[in-house]
Amino acid sequence: MLALKFLWAPDPVAISLGSFNIYYYSLMFVIAFASGLYLMKFMYKKEGVSLDYLDPLLLYMVAGTLIGARLGEVFFYNWDYFQSNLLEIILPVKINEDGWKFVGFRGLASHGAVIGILSALYLYTKKYKYTSMVWLLDRIAITVAFGGVFIRIGNFFNSEIVGKYTGSSFGVVFQNNGETLPRHPVQLYESLGYLIVFIILFLIYKNSRFRNQKGFLIGAFFSLLFTVRFFAEFVKESQGGFGENLGYFSTGQWLSIPLVILGFALIALSYRNKATA
């Protein structure tokens, strides 16, 4: 049988400018937001919405994503650590007895990002009243699914959020972590899953019947994307968090379940509202 073991030991630094380094993970975030802006511009043009609203929307999205994802990491997964290192919550540094080291905000949680994005878009639609929050969420959902493809690739370059050992000759050996045995490349599993979710959502959007059915796209996003996340967790190494005390599932799975249910509820509500319109 052909061994499908891949040795993986990349330099996580994409660009080095003297003492300042740009990591692949950070680069993937930039690509995610840039691609999201391009997709939103496409949709705004298609639907005759002024492009002047996009620049402030990008600012709200970046702030909501980063703040929410960071706080999600702090409170969902690593509160035991951060409660004794409060400055590291807001500063991109690692602090210990030897001083401090710039590491960037590498601890980010996607479930926290959802809360951050929802909060940011609520504030955005309160200030810019050209459309409803649901209309905006239906379109943002497509960009977030596509952005997730690149974020998980960034995790792969960082050799983080790794999968469980495969127990066979198949898998990826994360040599930067000092390992010699292959693990599931769960980051790439999720990236591929998110790409499929993006394609499905974009095809739904192209159908004017569903595009104009408010709440359908965001509902499909929650149900599909967090179903992918739920099943990926079965081959993902535990990241800790409160879920470890509940048993049966991981923290990521416990957090995904209500979002999948929310997705189906939003889809059902979109049909109900259409019927009564």
Residue that wins the pLDDT comparison between 211 and 72: 211
At 86 the pLDDT is 57
pTM to 2 decimals? 0.85
pLDDT tens sequence across 177-210 = 999 999 999 999 999 999 999 999 999 999 988 8
Contact 37, 44 (CB under 8 A): no
Residue 81, pLDDT > 80, answer no
What is the rounded CA–CA span in Å between residue 73 and residue 88? Answer: 12
Closest CA relative to residue 76, chosen from 242, 201, 200: 242
What residue segments make up the domains of the chain, in order of their start?
Answer: 5-276
* Residue 173, strand partner residues: 7
pLDDT tens sequence across 104-122 = 555 567 778 888 999 999 9
Query: What φ, ψ does residue 162 adopt, rounded to 5°?
Result: -80, 165
